[in-house]
Amino acid sequence: MAEGLSVYIETYGCQMNEYDTDLVKSILVESGQRLSESEHDARVILLNTCAIRENAHSKIYARLQQLKALKAKSSHQITVGILGCMAQNLRNDLLDTHDEIDFIAGPDTYRELPGLIARSRETSDKGLALRLSRSETYSGVDPIRSGGVNAWVAVMRGCDNMCSFCVVPYTRGRERSRDRKGILAEVESLAEVGFKQVTLLGQNVNSYEFGPFGFAQLVRVVADVPGIERVRFTSPHPKDFPEPLLDVIAGHPNVCNHIHLPLQAGNNRVLELMKRTYTIESFRELVERIRGTIPGVAISTDIIVGFPTETDAEFEDTFREMEEIRFDFAFIFKYSERKGTYAARKLSDDVPPEKKTERIVHLIELQKRITGEINQQYVGETVEVLVEETPKKDPGALSGRTETFKNTVFPKENFTIGDLVDVSIERSRGSALFGRAVGYATQGERKVRAG
Ligand code: 5AD
Ligand code: SF4
């Protein structure tokens, strides 16, 4: 086995991929490699890739061109490995078309990386590790995090939902939950080393199940870990939102009152074709229950425009629903056909690109207005902010998030990163709030915003 190689890893895509990169770092360091901050002194370059939309693929193809040039002009042997969802999704196609790639490894095979790296440095064989597992949760691997205030903690992996547009079930395999004890031990050690916030991660956190333990119980025990000042989670599915979770959020001041609840479309025929298994009516009832149980809760969402066969009138339904529901913010995407999915196999990607653009522009405009209006209601309120960083544009300030996930900026004074500060909001601009610190926050009583 090659010892002490310097490894540089780049991460694309979602937070689960960021978390996986930290697992990969741990596996490689345990096997004797060193981590490098730059591709220029690295002997091994790994790209942890995403496959969710075509533009995620395009980024990697562009990056591979650069790495090909780097390899060609380098005087030493550079090994390039492709990890993650695109590796799993494209498999041999990726190897066949890109000879600068030495090996590819899907999300369930990272324990094999030391061997894959060693083999590809010793032979000219292309390495392939693409087995999807029903049980791999990387138990016993301690992620190497780069620090900060928030730590991501994966609680489950994979997805069994099979939404018709989504590649994730194919790239990340079947659902499996991590051992509750392992999660708790990880959170306890995060608190000990000073992380203030944990965000529990899963493709569909509702499906968390470990013996009699469901997601709501898991959140409760995590929230009780001393030193953890904030707990967040992402994402629950609207079809089977665990109702007891609402009481856990309402009853625990340190479980943030923000729920990301992906709607995807506001029309029942489209929702059915998407295989989301809820209706717009049941989604709206859930939103009402959430708002009725958790004072001041923020709800955000994901929307896809231009799903196959979506008509103008059906798009208008989505527009109207967003106007009525009034999400705090929304991630809005143009439909992108993914190989192997039900939609790709059975439906034609027939909404013209100009139409998708027109629709996305409309929804972004609408959401901007709504976000602006909701944020305006914070002016005059005092909100608790967990300080995360110094904004690049303003070294005299600090910024962080409210419980409801609003980015908030205020003059630094004597406060520092990691502090929980009460900030009196003076104005709102775009998606950000601006104010002045009025003191350290004493956690206990949740502050309820107006409106
Ligand atoms: N095209 C466009 N957006 C997609 N998403 C998932 N798959 C696709 C696709 N094929 C969006 C969904 C999901 C978010 C993470 O990405 O809105 O909630
Ligand atoms: Fe994450 Fe999905 Fe992209 Fe995979 S395809 S990296 S799970 S967003």
Question: Which amino acid appears at position 28 of this protein?
Answer: L
CA distance 333 to 153: 26
What residues contact residue 226 under an 8 Å CB cut-off, 6+ apart?
191
Answer whether 333 contacts ligand 1 (Cβ < 6 A). yes
Ligand nearest, relative to CA of residue 85: 2
Give the 3-state secondary structure of residue 285. helix
Ligand 1 mean position, distance from CA 266 (Å): 15
- Residue 451 in this model has a pLDDT that exceeds 50: no
Q: What is the arithmetic mean of pLDDT over 20-34?
A: 98
Ligand 1 mean position, distance from CA 392 (Å): 30
Fold of 150-374: pyruvate-formate lyase- activating enzyme (3.80.30)
Look at ligand 1, atom 18, and give the residue with the nearest C-alpha.
302
Ligand 2 mean position, distance from CA 13 (Å): 6
pTM, whole model, 2 decimals?
A: 0.95
Q: Domain 6-129 carries which CATH code?
A: 3.40.50.12160
Probe residue for ligand 1, chosen from 17, 165, 264, 275 as the CB with the greatest number of ligand atoms within 8 Å: 165
Task: Give the closest residue to 98 by CA, choosing from 90, 88, 106.
Answer: 90
Ligand nearest, relative to CA of residue 164: 1
pLDDT of residue 3: 57
Look at ligand 1, atom 13, and give the residue with the nearest C-alpha.
302
Q: What is the arithmetic mean of pLDDT over 232-236?
A: 96
pLDDT more than 70, % of the chain: 97
Q: What is the arithmetic mean of pLDDT over 100-105?
A: 97
Distant-in-sequence contacts of 219-226, Cβ < 8 A, 24+ apart: 219/245, 219/248, 219/249, 219/252, 219/255, 220/248, 220/252, 221/180, 221/184, 222/183, 222/184, 222/187, 222/198, 223/248, 223/252, 223/254, 223/255, 225/184, 225/187, 225/188, 225/191, 226/191
Query: What DSSP line would sit under 147-164, residue for residue?
Result: -SSEEEEE-EE------T
Q: What is the arithmetic mean of pLDDT over 55-64?
A: 95
Q: What is the arithmetic mean of pLDDT over 208-222?
A: 96
Ligand 2, residue 49: give the atom nearest the CA.
6
Task: Give the closest residue to 419 by CA, choosing from 447, 398, 445, 393.
Answer: 398
Ligand 1 mean position, distance from CA 47 (Å): 21
Lining residues, ligand 2, CB within 6 Å: 13-14, 16-17, 50-52, 84-85, 167-168, 171-172
CA distance 184 to 167: 30
Q: What is the DSSP letter of 405?
A: -
Q: Where are the domains of the chain?
A: 6-129, 150-374, 382-440
pLDDT more than 90, % of the chain: 94
CA distance 22 to 20: 5
Burial category of 393 from C-beta neighbours within 10 Å (exposed 0-12, middle 13-18, buried 19 and up):
exposed
pLDDT band at 449 (very low <50, low <70, confident <90, very high): very low
Task: Give the closest residue to 79 by CA, choosing from 42, 129, 24, 35.
Answer: 42
Ligand nearest, relative to CA of residue 302: 1
Give the 3-state secondary structure of residue 301. strand
pLDDT band at 92 (very low <50, low <70, confident <90, very high): confident
pLDDT of residue 147: 86
CATH superfamily, region 382-440: Nucleic acid-binding proteins (2.40.50.140)
Ligand nearest, relative to CA of residue 106: 2
CA distance 133 to 151: 25
Each residue's pLDDT tens digit, 110-150: 999 999 999 999 998 899 999 999 999 999 999 999 888 99
- Residue 446 in this model has a pLDDT that exceeds 60: no
Look at ligand 2, atom 6, and give the residue with the nearest C-alpha.
50
CA distance 255 to 259: 11
Is-same-fold flag (150-374; 382-440)?
A: no
When computed from its CA atoms, the radius of gyration of the chain, rounded to whole angstroms, is 23
Answer whether 336 contacts ligand 1 (Cβ < 6 A). yes
What residues contact residue 131 under an 8 Å CB cut-off, 6+ apart?
106, 108, 109
Probe residue for ligand 2, chosen from 11, 17, 19 as the CB with the greatest number of ligand atoms within 8 Å: 17
Each residue's pLDDT tens digit, 348-390: 999 999 999 999 999 999 999 999 999 999 999 999 999 999 9
Answer whether 52 contacts ligand 1 (Cβ < 6 A). yes
Ligand 1, residue 338: give the atom nearest the CA.
10
